[in-house]
Structure 1
Amino acid sequence: MAILEILEVPDPRLKTVSEPVKPEEFGDELKKLADDMFETMYAAPGIGLAAIQVGVPKRLLVIDLQPEDPDAEPVECEHDGHKHTHPATKKEPRVFVNPVIVDPAEELSTYQEGCLSVPEIYADVDRPATCTVRYQDLDGNEHEEQLEGLMATCLQHEMDHLEGILFIDHLSRLKRNMALKKLKKIRQAA
């Protein structure tokens, strides 16, 4: 497995509409890409990643909400010279190939979203609270599933990437410009 480079705004490749994964493309190469995407996402750290974010314009995305594991010991780590204790999480990796939303709810929910391609910027985004998704797994098998809560939001966020849309594109022009200025300042300070 390998950690891949994550494209960041304003990289024009992030505006690419991704191509469907063809039947003949299911196999070891696709599985390796998904494995590399998980490793990249966990290292970033993030909870979702679309293939276009690592420069591959294919309709593939990976998600792992990494819920808290109440049965595991808390994890101790050190940041900026301070020791912290975090709840342990468990890995629940999910792969969606050629996903299609077939029944988005009318009811919206609001989550504060961030994105590995727009680092350190967060904003509230309204999306359908639930949705039904039709997708394939890494072996090409078809599935249909109803998603809700954070999983529904995360899937819709990652699916936007497949259409060349970033979460900041859902913001008003003023808020989007403020987010991009903030990102520019963060980069200049680094």
Structure 2
Amino acid sequence: MLTMDNIVREGHPALREVAKPLTFPLSEEERTLAHEMMAFLENSQDPDISEEYGLRAGVGLAAPQLAIPKRMIAVLIPGEYEDDPPELKAVMVNPKIVSHSVENICLKDGEGCLSVDRDVPGFVVRHTRITVTYQDINGKTFKKRFKEYPAIVLQHEIDHLNGIMFYDHINKENPLNLDDDVKILG
């Protein structure tokens, strides 16, 4: 079982590496990694398990956050209500943003990251809508559109595959400055 001890923190060189694409069929080790990453997200969102193991709640996890330089992410975005099915639950192999909107969006309270143990004030401006291509763990290819919160989460995780941290997007001079046309979510 993955815990917070398995997640590397800012300053670790793995977080600044560009991850390598995976080839199919995935190895048994890579398939296990996919399952463990999703299990971590599920456990982190379960109040009892997260408290017992000291897990911070997460909606996304990228392999580089485990010091594994491979292009794999897991996302688990809860539905609006507790009994809803997940809005998005997927392990994505070799995800790539192939198009995006001109409109931009950001979270009202900024972004957080399992690899960052501090609050980083500032708006992280992202594309409101994105189209992503990826494979599942069996090699089946998908092309899907995402908007608003799921799009923000995916951009955050795909950035990890490219050695980019969320705070790299924050305006260094004025972290709380936003263009008038940026939608604020939350």
TM-score (norm: length of structure 2): 0.77
Report deviation, 1:93.
Answer: 2.4
Q: How big is the alpha-carbon RMSD for the aligned residues of Structure 1 and Structure 2?
A: 2.0
* Stretches of 4+ aligned residues off by more than 6 angstroms: none
Higher strand share: 1
Matched residue SS, 1:160: helix
Report deviation, 1:27.
Answer: 4.5
Report deviation, 1:69.
Answer: 3.2
- Mean Cα displacement is larger for which, 11-20 or 39-48? 39-48
Deviations 1:19-57 (A, max 9, x none): 001124x15322210121123332331100100001110
Deviations 1:151-174 (A, max 9, x none): 001000000000000001112335
* Structure 1 contact 62–95 (Cα < 8 Å) conserved: yes
- The match for 1:154 is 153
* Structure 1 contact 27–138 (Cα < 8 Å) conserved: no
Give the 5 Å matches for 1:75-154: 90-91=85-86, 92-111=88-107, 112-122=110-120, 123-154=122-153
Paired residue total: 158
- The match for 2:181 is none
Distance, in Å, in 2 between the alignment partners of 1:44 and 1:35 is: 18
Matched residue SS, 2:145: strand
Identity of aligned residues (%): 34
Higher helix share: 1
Unaligned stretches of 5+ in structure 2? 45-54, 176-186
Report deviation, 1:175.
Answer: 6.6
Q: 1:7 to 1:94 in 2, by over 3 A?
A: same
Q: For the pair shown, which has the larger CA radius of gyration, 1 or 2?
A: 1
Letter in 1 for 2:31: K
Letter in 2 for 1:117: S
